[in-house]
Every structure is written in C-alpha cells, then in structure tokens.
Structure 1
C-alpha cells in the first residue's frame, strides 16, 4: 500500500497537481480513500459469497453511516480494522438467516435506539 501511495503521489507531483508542503495531507486522504474502497469491495464479495448481496447492501447502508457518526471501534492496526469490519458484516449476514420472534426484535430495537440516543 505504501508503494502504491508513493507512486500516486509521485505522479501527482510530476503533473503539478500536488503542493509538496501539503503532501502529508494528500497522502492521508488517498490512504483513507484506498482503505474505504477495499472495505466496500470486500463487503460486496462477502455478500456474493454468502449469497446474501441484498441483506449485505442493506447492512452496509445502515452500518457505514452509523459507524461514521458514532466513531465505532478502533483497532490498533489497519489489518485488525479490516478483519473486524469484515467479521461484523459476516455476523450480521448470518444473523439475518435466523428468524427471531417479533417481541425480541421490538425490545432489541427500542434498546438499541435508547443507547444510540443516550450517547
């Protein structure tokens, strides 16, 4: 990943698209973008592999904004973050296959909303 970022930044520098004083900012932005793309592509692959692409897309549409607004869990390493995020997506897709009683879904939804509003 570092080699790819270095090549992209070098190309941007030669084309005059990059101010050398702000190279760290561009590097950080490109790294974040690349990590996001890898995460989202992995989620799509997980959805196809589990034959649950629609539930995975719905899960991603809910979890991604929620995680951004709440801060989420922060792993110590990029690979730890990646593995944790993918395991959450797999767990939610597996939970989608279980049929829960309506009362349990209702209580869980109210409880989760209360926690979210409290924080």
Structure 2
C-alpha cells in the first residue's frame, strides 16, 4: 500500500518531466527507503509515548543508529522484515524501561556490555551481502565505528559511576549488546 504511493508519485514526476523514466528505479528505491525510515521513526515515537519513555527511546536511537550505520551487521532479506524486527526490539526495550525490569538485568549487563564492545571493536564493519565495502571504506567505517563506540563507552562509564541503576546507562549498554548480536548473526545471500 505504501509503495503504491511511491509508484503514483513517480508516475506524476515522470509525466511532469521532473525525473527521467530511466531514473525510475533509483528514485523508487530512495522513496521506498524514505517511507520505511519514516514508518520506523513513527513506530519508535508511538512505542515511546505508549510506554512513557520518550527520552530513553530517543537516547536509544541516538546511540544505536549511528553505530549500527557504520558497524553493520545482519540485514533482513526484505525491508518489512527489518521494520517488524525493529518494532519488536523497541517494544521490548520500552517495556523493560517502563516496568523497571532493567534493575534485574543490570548485574550481568556490565560484563555483557564489555564483551559486546569488544565484539564491535574487533569485527566492525560487517558488510551487507548486497553492498560490499571497498578497502578504503572498510578502514573509514572501522575508524568511525571505533570513535563512536569510545565516546558512548565513556558516557556509559560516567553514567554508571554516578548511578549504577541508571536507565540511560541501561539504554547505552543494551544498544551495544544488540548491535554485537546483530554483527554475529549470519548474513543471508
């Protein structure tokens, strides 16, 4: 249904000579990606509002998205699969925050977060099967990933020194654990 909107928009733009028919596939990919990003963002905001944890879920997005963008990892074979997986992930994190379940998870999380950070440090970037990286890109993405990871780890340490039961610390830690798991999942061809 959403992608029918893309087709109608493209038909209109081609008819009005805004874009060339030969560029249709490229624009279609871009518009579909934009629609999915907007959908993912809307779901994140909705879940955040339902569970009264907008600030912490915004923190999750700020921590997870840039790191995931450069570190790579598992990609669903179809875009809607990615959206569903993301929504489930966000739902679990929001419920954990809302019902203070993170207090039960914190004792083992410090060790798991440290292991996750090592996995990210050593393995990033993980290439997508359909989007291989050149050597220069790999080095650049590795450097960016490590820089982001160091900054986030430093913030996590400061938060935990101030308060061992910090929800913000939980959010940063769980984002690193999730990313490490995504990096270890096998890629589909």
Q: CA deviation at 1:100?
A: 4.9
Match of 1:81 in 2: 82
TM-score (norm 2): 0.57
Question: With CA pairs under 8 Å and 6+ residues apart, which has the higher RCO, 1 or 2?
Answer: 2
2:114 to 107, 110, 117: 110
- How many angstroms apart in 2 are the aligned matches of 1:38 and 1:85? 11
Return 5+ residue gaps in structure 2 as ranges.
Answer: 124-189
Aligned residues: 119
Alignment deviations for residues 69-98 of structure 1 (CA, whole Å, 9 cap, x no partner): 232332233332211111111222233322
Aligned to 1:95: 96
Kept in 1, the 8 Å contact 2:40–2:83? The answer is yes
Runs ≥4 residues deviating over 6 A: none
> Can you give the 5+ residue segments of structure 1 that lack an aligned partner in the other structure?
none
Note the alpha carbon deviations across 1:11-40, whole angstroms, 9 max, x for none: 211332201111111111111111101000
Partner of 1:62: 63
Alpha-carbon separation, structure 1, partners of 2:72 and 2:107: 29
> Which deviations, in whole Å up to 9, do the C-alpha atoms of 1:44-75 show, x marking residues without a partner?
00000111111111111112122222323322
| TM-score, normalised relative to structure 1 | 0.86
Answer whether contact 2:47 2:94 (CA < 8 A) is retained. no
Equivalent position of 2:47 in the other structure:
46
Distance 1:19 1:114, change over 3 A: same
Distance 1:50 1:36 in 2: 21
